[in-house]
Amino acid sequence: MRVLVTGGAGFIGSHVVEALAARGHEVLVFDVREDPHADVRDPTAVTRALAGVDAVCHQAAMVGLGDGITDAAEYVSRNDLGTAVLLAAMAQAGVPRLVLAGSMVVYGEGRYVCSWHGAVRPGPRDVADLDAGRFEPLCPVCGADLSPGLVEEDASVDPRNVYATTKLAQEHLAAVWARAAGGSAVSLRYHNVYGPRMPRDTPYAGVASFFRSALARGEAPRVFEDGRQRRDFVHVRDVAAANVAALEADPRTGALTVYNTGSGEPHTVGEMARALAAAHGGPEPVVTGEYRLGDVRHITADSSRLVAELGWKPEVAFHDGMREFARAGLRGD
């Protein structure tokens, strides 16, 4: 298969390129890091890149929380306009398959259960609660403590920041393209991806990169809130393998299929920081009590659909991955 990988020179994209090539696919990289004209918002450049292509693996995106609303236009331009231009060109060129780098951020908060009211959806956390160090969301009906659980793909979506909103819009655009063009679209809703080649010290690299960069400078990782936020840290090679599985699966034409893509092993942010610091040889993390308003408390998802339907499974165990990441090189961009 001849596959165009947008963002193929980036952190996740470069691993996807390697995984596809290892399976014998012909891979073309479309990335502004390698060619300043390779912008997914440029219809001429995209149309040229799609010549003779059988499938597209769309990794190019501006990632991160988004700084309130002030950078919304840039996120929408890079993520949503870029995706719209790409899909329009795919429809014209007759390229039938798309795998999209989705994100678990579209869910907002994860799944919660109240002992009195069952499954509930807490709203955004209150600033006064966060300032007071009350980080756990409470039952929106009775105010009782909640138990976090796993989110399935059919859960309602509730994006809580600009980035999350653009990732959901990408999925809607892909669904429209699939119906209109008779194409097959898959969105892999990535969890917290980490591993070699993560960018260092950028606002959009993710918490694992910030911790790793601090350790490289001999500084203690700074853990926000109380460190008990639950996440699913999935290794980048496992994410790349999920992309290959999605591209090689039998296509479902005319529709978008979404898959949670995580390790299946929830860990707290504090646990991850401690594991990474121990593997690196210190210093120990510091829990700061600081917070970011756009963050959610707990978000871990059930990836069993991806395992069952595409035969994918994560191979890199948490502590093995952290030991590797503690010594792996980071990208300087």
* Any domain includes 165: yes
* Any domain includes 332: no
* Any domain includes 249: yes
pLDDT for 155 beyond 70: yes
The pLDDT > 90 percentage for the chain reads 91
- Give the model's pLDDT for residue 141: 97
pLDDT for 293 beyond 90: no
pLDDT for 67 beyond 80: no
Quick check: is 194 catalytic?
Answer: no
* Any domain includes 142: no
CB atoms within 10 A of CB 35: 13
Q: Are strands 230-231 and 267-268 parallel, antiparallel or unpaired?
A: antiparallel
User: What is the number of structural domains in the chain?
Assistant: 1
DSSP state of 148: E
Q: What pLDDT digit, counting tens, does each position of 108-117 carry?
A: 999 999 999 9
Rounded mean pLDDT of the chain?
A: 95
Selected residue with higher pLDDT from 333 and 330: 330
* Any domain includes 115: no
205 closest CA partner among 313, 185, 286, 197: 197
Residue 258, domain CATH: 3.40.50.720
Q: Which helix (H) or strand (E) holds 13?
A: helix 11-22
* Any domain includes 137: no
Q: What pLDDT digit, counting tens, does each position of 165-194 carry?
A: 999 999 999 999 999 999 999 999 999 999
DSSP string, 78-136: IIIIHHHHHHHHHHHHT--EEEEEEEGGGG-S-EEEETTTEEE---PPPHHHHHTT--S
pLDDT for 330 beyond 90: no
Residue 278 structural domain: 2-110+151-326
* Any domain includes 125: no
* Any domain includes 48: yes
| Catalytic residue from among 75, 107, 163, 190 | 163
